[in-house]
Amino acid sequence: MEVIKHGNILSAYIEDFKRQGKKIGFVPTMGALHEGHLSLVERAGSESDIVVVSIFVNPTQFNNPADLNSYPRNLKKDFDLLEQSPCNLVFTPSVEDIYPVPDTRVFDFGLLDKIMEGAFRPGHFNGVVQVVSKLFDIVKPHKAFFGEKDFQQLAIIRDFVNRSNSEVKIVACPTVREKDGLAMSSRNMLLSECRRKKVAVISKTLSESCNFAVSNNIKQTQKFVVDKIN
C-alpha cells in the first residue's frame, strides 16, 4: 500500500495502471475509518485490480464550521486498517491540492437535495458533488463504491454521473451496522453515552415497525412508533 498526497502524482500512477489494462476501483472517504468503510474497500477489491481510497475532509460540504472542526480525524489508525485491506493506493490530498482556486460551481439536482437531510443542511450536497467530481477527475476510476447508509447522497451522486455522462459506474454497497442496529458512522464516536443509547432505539424501532406494518394499518403503525420512541 502506498500513500500519495498530490493529485498529479496519483493521476500518473492511474494512467500507468490503465495502460496495463488494470481496472480501477475507488472508495472516497473522509477518514475516521470503520468496518463500514472497510466493507466498501473489500467490495472494491473483489471487483477491481487496483483499489484507491481517498481520505479528505471536504470543507465545502460543511455549512457549520464547528462541525468541520470537530469531525474526527485519525490518519495513523486509518492507515493501519487499510494495510489489512485490498487497498493499493491511499490518496490524502490537502485542501489546496483539491481546491487551488475556490470552487464556485452550483449544481441543479431538482428536488433531490431539498428534502430529507438536504432540507436541514443547505449546500451540503452541492459540496459533496464538488469534491466527488474533482476526485473522479483525478482518479478516473472504472467503478466507485458508496454505502447505502447515505442513501440521499448516493441518489444525488448517481444523478450527477448520469447528467454529466460520466463513464464511472456507481456501486451501492449494503449498510454495515453495530450490534445494536445503529448504522456505523465516523460521527458515532462524537455521541455521548446517553445519546448513543437513544439513537440505537431509532434503528430498532424502524426495523420493528416494518414488521408491525405488514399486519396492521397506518394509524396503528404510527402509534407503535411513537410509543417505542417515547
Residue 7: pLDDT over 50: yes
Please give the model's pTM, rounded to 2 decimal places. Answer: 0.88
> What is the rounded CA–CA span in Å between residue 223 and residue 204?
15
pLDDT at 87: 98
The tens digit of pLDDT for each residue in 191-227 reads: 887 887 777 777 777 767 666 555 666 555 455 445 5
pLDDT at 227: 59
Q: Which of the following is catalytic: 6, 34, 37, 124?
A: 37
> What is the rounded CA–CA span in Å between residue 98 and residue 61?
13
Rg (CA), the chain: 19
pLDDT band at 40 (very low <50, low <70, confident <90, very high): very high
More confident residue, 207 or 139: 139
pLDDT at 225: 45
The tens digit of pLDDT for each residue in 178-191 reads: 888 888 889 878 88
pLDDT band at 116 (very low <50, low <70, confident <90, very high): very high
What angle is formed at CA 81 by the lines to CA 75 and CA 85, rounded to 5 degrees?
130
Q: Please, what CATH class does the domain formed by 2-173 belong to?
A: alpha beta
pLDDT band at 18 (very low <50, low <70, confident <90, very high): very high
Residue 165, CB-side half-sphere exposure with 13 Å CA sphere: 0
Q: Return the amino acid letter for 167.
A: E
pLDDT at 224: 47
Q: Show me where the domains of the chain are located.
A: 2-173, 191-229
pLDDT at 183: 86
Helix (H, G, I), strand (E, B) or coil at 65: helix
Active site (annotated) includes residue 37: yes
Pairing of the two strands 50-55 and 24-29: parallel
Q: How many residues does the chain have?
A: 230
pLDDT at 215: 61
Q: Return the amino acid letter for 136.
A: F
Mean pLDDT of all residues in 155-167: 96
pLDDT at 191: 81
pLDDT at 210: 66
- Residues pairing with 147 in the sheet: 173
pLDDT at 199: 74
The tens digit of pLDDT for each residue in 52-96 reads: 999 999 999 998 999 999 999 999 999 999 999 999 999 999 999
pLDDT at 3: 98
